[in-house]
Amino acid sequence: MEEWLTRPAADLGRDIEAGRLSPQDLAETYLEAIERHEFRDRIYVRLTKDRARAEAAAATDRAKRGLRHSPLDGVPISWKDLYDTAGVATESGSALLSGRVPDRDAEVLTKATEAGLVCLGKTHQTELAFSGLGLNPVTASPPCVNDHGAVSGGSSSGAGTSVAFGLAAAGIGSDTGGSVRIPSVWNDLVGLKTRHGRLSLEGVVPLCARFDTVGPLCRTVEDAALMFAALENGRPADLTGASLSGVRLGILRTVAMEAVEEVPSAAFESAVNRLAAAGAVVEEIDVPAVAEAMPLSGTLFPAEAYATWRERIEAEGEKMYPPVRTRFLQGKTIGAADFISAWRELDCLRLVYREAVAGFDAVILPTCPILPPKIEAVTQDEAHFTERNLKALRNTRIGNLMGLAAVTLPSGTPSCGVTFQGDSEERLLRIAAAAEAALR
C-alpha cells in the first residue's frame, strides 16, 4: 500500500473505478503515513480525520454502486489553511487569526467535496499568504523535498510538501504573486495558477482580492486538469492526443531571463531544447510592457494587502513575523489616487501584452530564477529574507500582473521548472500535457 502514496491522483481514481482500490483503505494509508512522518507537524496544521473517514466511506459506497461523482471520487487531498472548513480552525498561518473557526466550507471546498474528494486536513503556509519563500516562524516552515535544510516555497508551502513527501495525492493552494508555482517548482510538482475570477474566492481568507486565485499542486498535468474541473464543477480539459508539433512558444526575455542563477538557467535551456525537439516552434520575444508593469507591484500588492489587514496589524502587529509585517506596512503610505492610477496603467499594459504575444500559443519562462535558500540564512538576516523573497517571486509575478493562467512543469533538474502562461487554462493544460511528455 505504500506505493499508493506517490502515485498520481488520476491513477488512484482509475483504480477506484476498476474496483482495485478502496477509498477507505486509501484514506487510512494516507492518515497513517502522515502520523508517522518526521515532518508531519511542519506540513499539516491539523488533520480532519473524522471528515476524511466519513468522506472515504461514502466514496467507497458510491464506487460499489457505480455512482462515482467524478474521476477523482475517493482520492485524498490537502487544503491550505486559508480555505474555510466548517467547524475547523482556519487561521491563514497567522497568530492574528488564532482560534478563527468558520461555520461553513469555502465554495471550492464544497465543490471538491461534491466531486467526492476526501479532505485529509489543513496545511501550513506563509503568514497571511504574503511571502514566496514558505518561511513561517510563527507556526511552522515545511522543508523542501530536495533539501530539508531549505525553504519549500510559499505561500502554499504545506500544500506543496504534502504532495512531494507523499502525504496527499494533491494539494490545494492559492496564488497571488506565485504562491502555487513557487512551492511547485521547488518541490518538482505541476502547479496550475488559474486566472483571477475563474474559481470562487468565497470562503477564502484574502490577501489581495484583485489578485488572489485558487489552484492545485499535483504530480501530473492530468491530475491538475482533473483537480481544476473538480474545483469548478466543470468538464476536465481534453488532453487526448496532445502534441507540441507546430505549437508556437515565445521565450519571454524581458525581465524573466535577467540574472537567472546558473542551475535554473541551464535547466531551462535544456528544457527548451527538448520542447523544440518534440516539434515546438520556439522564438525569443521581448515585451516591454512587462518591464513597465513590474514597478507597479510596489504599489498594488502592499496597498491592498495593508487595506485588507490594517485593523488587525495596527492592533496586534507584534504577533507577526517582522519581515512579513514590514511587507504589509509598506502599503500604509500608499494613497488611493496612486493605487487607482496604478491599476489604470496596469489595465492598459495588459492589453499591450496580449497584443504582443497574440501570435503564440503560450509564453514560456523559467518558473523561478533562484534555487530555494536555506532556512537558517533567511531566518537570521531580514535583508537576505527580503532580497530572496523578491527574487523568488519575480518571474511568477508576471503572470499575476498580466492576469494570465499559468502552468509550471518540472524541468528534470531538481527545484527547477518551466512555466507556460496564456489566456486559457484548458489550452495551457493541453500544451503542458504534451510538454510534460517531452520533458520526461
Catalytic residues: 80, 155, 179
156 close to 171: Cβ distance less than 8 angstroms = yes
DSSP annotation string for 136-197: -TTS--PEETTEEEEE--SSSHHHHHHHHTTS-S-EEEE-SSSTTHHHHHHTT-EEEEPPTT
Residues 6+ apart with CB under 8 A from 332: 306, 310
User: Which three cell numbers, joined as nine digits, stand for 200?
Assistant: 470562487
Among 432, 401, 349, CA closest to 196: 401
Residue 289's Cβ-side half-sphere holds a number of Cα atoms within 13 Å equal to 19
Backbone angles phi, psi at 5, to 5 degrees: -70, -20
DSSP annotation string for 256-288: TTTT--HHHHHHHHHHHHHHHHTT-EEEEE--H
Cross-strand pairs, 420: 364, 407
Q: How many CB atoms lie within 10 A of CB 362?
A: 26
Distance CA 183, CA 190 (A): 10
Using CA atoms, how far residue 412 sits from 246, 415, 418, in Å, is 23, 9, 10
